[in-house]
Structure 1
Amino acid sequence: MDIELRHLRYFVAVADELHFGRAARRLHLAQPPLSQQIRKLEEILGCQLFLRTSRAVRLTAAGEAFLERARRTLSNVQDDMQEARSIGRGEQGLLRVGFISSAMLTVVPRTFGTYRRRFPKVQLQLFESYTALVMRSLTSGEIDVGILRDGGPANGLHVEPLLSEPYVAVLPKRHPLAASNSISAAALRDEPFVFHAPTAGTRAFEKPMSIFEEHGFRPQIVQEAPQWLTLLRLVGAGLGVTVAPACVEKIALNDVVCVRLRGVKVRSDLELAYREGEHRAIVKGFAEILRSGVGRVKS
């Protein structure tokens, strides 16, 4: 026969009261069923837990030893139940978030802080990468949430836009067009470009390229680099020009200028992604905070 939790609760109540009648009232039981369950527990253990006389009830040596263990077991079960409830509510556990570097130039870092304060027991792990790898990591289950730049629709993933930004041209400070308030994309027809590799994200690469294709040309990319800071430094050094989401202007140093592109309708989208069918509260809670944080800035 197996010991059940109710056996332990009944035993602890009798041990606390050292009186079957009072223990029964505390447990909202009749006394005979309580006595029967204590005898069953003693039968399972193969030893007597209480010495009973007409005047008193007291613990045996085995009972005293078992009482400590019974209390510990009940406490552990209660803690485990509370932890399970907390995990079920998304208040505890491990959350792995992959993000692209340009997200750090938006409100996203602030939402990370908000989430940490609201869910201090969640182990938040952040992984910086590029859009294509974040999407692959989501699909494979290596991460739970992704923050993308122009990832777009993908099989098995829920992808939703968070923030839409215009593109700007990034020029060396001494470029002839650097003093302009705005320029046409056609003005960059003969310029060498520095840009991300297509492997970092096909849609993130093709979207800005389409701006120039509308004017009948595709930029000549003379140098690739994985990070916006590197690209801006290359522009400042005179290796070429580039096109970037407007948030990149926040890290533009004094050797480059960001200029608005006139008449361009194409915009860059910062996106939230997670696996289709995702139901865990820990993911939903993070997504809600991210949406709310970005929404306040948009409004």
Structure 2
Amino acid sequence: MNVDLRHLRYFVAVASELHFGRAAQRLHITQPPLSVGIRQLEDQLGFRLFHRDSKRVALTPTGQAFLPKAHELLNQVDKAEEFGAALAKGHAGHLDIGFTGAMLFRGLGEFLSLFEALHPHVEFSLHEGSSLEQKRLVRSGRLDAGFVNVGDSGDFGNLVCFKERYVVCLPEKHRFADCSCIDLASLRDERFVIFARGPSPGHYDHLIALCAQAGFEPRSRLEVQQFLSVAAMVASGLGISVVPASIARSAMPGVRFIALEGSEIQPTAFLIWDPKRETPGLDAFVDTLKQVLVRSELGNLSA
């Protein structure tokens, strides 16, 4: 049985008004086609929907029982039409988004909440991974986009989404823990906890370059793959490190984050995606991120 959705809307309108004339006005039609439509719906269903005479209109018991189902079906149709319209505009779909742990301290959660509010028809799943792993997954199509620590000038779409300075991370009882600013050269004899080059070569190379500019090569026996692991190692007294300033938002106990003399603001986080792939919802995601970055003071998610 193929019920005409138009007739269902007729039924709901009459059930709401309990008056054929007012229902017709509400539907912007004349009363005769409304009466015909209700009669055809009753014939299809095999039961009467209304008791009606010259003085009153009332739902039958079966009509009363059928009304919630009619509402449910019409709501589903309306939602499907709304979703289809959003899909046609690129404002619907499902996205698999990668991120590094450091993004949690750079406003990622706040941005995703905003995006979800602006684009309720775009669902997303989050996948934590290293920058290198995310690039591989975006290239293979298993991720639609990724928030990474290192940009890419190759085949990826590439958007800077966070800029910041680097700071020195010290144990809270370190002799320099109460300083307001530190010259990296004064730390030449310290043991460094280093972010491993494999998962994020950009941060590793930056630290090595900073130390080279200060006239030394860092001494290290500890290489880790997460900035929180770096801070935890430092808190345990196993060394010191140089990390992006946003990591201070982790509020890791037992460490101090001190300004690094001469450190300049630079990009530390990027969104990458494959511009050759058509992914419903991705354009809306990128456009919303761009709008947030334009409005922020430093072009940062959390600014």
Q: 1:101-250 maps to which residues of 2 (within 5 A)? A: 101-106=101-106, 108=107, 111-112=110-111, 115=114, 128-139=128-139, 146-153=146-153, 155-156=155-156, 158-168=157-167, 173-174=174-175, 181-184=182-185, 188=188, 193-211=192-210, 219=218, 221-232=220-231, 234=233, 239=238, 241-248=240-247
Q: Which amino acid aligns with 1:38?
A: I
2:169 and 2:231 in contact (8 A); partners too: yes
Kept in 1: contact 2:182–2:261 (CA 8 A): no
The equivalent of 1:38 in structure 2 is 38
Bigger shift: residues 90-99 or 43-52: 90-99
Structure with the greater alpha carbon radius of gyration: 1
> Structure 1's 212 and 181: CA in aligned 2 closer, same or farther, altered over 3 A?
closer
Deviations along 1:141-186, one digit per CA (max 9) or x if unpaired, are 6666543222433534x321233334455577359xx99842459x
| CA separation of 1:103 and 1:54: change in aligned 2, threshold 3 A | closer
Q: Which amino acid aligns with 1:195?
A: I
Provide the secondary structure at the position in 2 that maps to 1:199.
Answer: coil
Q: CA deviation at 1:286?
A: 5.3
Aligned counterparts of 1:5 and 1:67: Cα–Cα separation in 2: 13
AA aligned to 1:165 is E
In the TM superposition, residue 6 of structure 1 has moved relative to its aligned partner by 0.9
AA paired with 1:132? L
Instruction: Trace 1:60-139 onto structure 2 (pairs within 5 A).
Output: 62-78=62-78, 98-106=98-106, 108=107, 111-112=110-111, 115=114, 128-139=128-139
- Distance in 2 (CA, whole Å) between partners of 1:180 and 1:293 is 27
1:271 aligns with 2:270: yes
| Higher mean displacement: 53-62 or 126-135 | 53-62
What's the offset of the Cα at 1:91?
Answer: 9.7
The one-letter code sitting in structure 2 at the alignment partner of 1:260 is L
Distance of 1:259 and 1:56 partners within structure 2:
81
Give aligned-pair identity as a percent.
31
Change (3 A) 1:44 1:123: closer
Aligned residue pairs, count:
292
Change (3 A) 1:215 1:46: same
Shift of 1:225: 1.7
* In structure 2, distance between residues paired with 1:152 and 1:21: 66
TM-score by length of 1: 0.65
Aligned pair in 2 of structure 1 residues 75, 112: CA closer, same or farther (>3 Å)? Answer: closer
User: What is the rounded CA distance, in whole Å, between the counterparts of 2:269 and 2:40 in structure 1?
Assistant: 64
Contact conserved, 1:52 with 1:58, CA < 8 A, in 2? Answer: yes
Separation of aligned partners in 1, 2:114 and 2:192: 38
SS where residue 159 of structure 2 aligns?
strand
Partner in structure 1 of residue 298 of structure 2: 295
CA contact (8 A) 1:145 1:283 kept: no
Let me know the Cα RMSD of the aligned residues. 5.1
- What amino acid is the match of 1:7? H
Q: What is the TM-score of this pair, normalised by structure 2?
A: 0.64
* Residue segments in structure 1 that go unaligned for 5+ positions in a row: none
What SS does structure 1 have at the residue aligned with 2:160?
strand
DSSP-derived class of the 1:6 partner: helix
Could you tell me how far apart the structure 2 residues matched to 1:293 and 1:270 are? 15
Distance in 2 between residues matched to 1:55 and 1:200, nearest whole Å: 79
Q: For 1:28 and 1:166, how far apart are their aligned partners in 2? A: 63
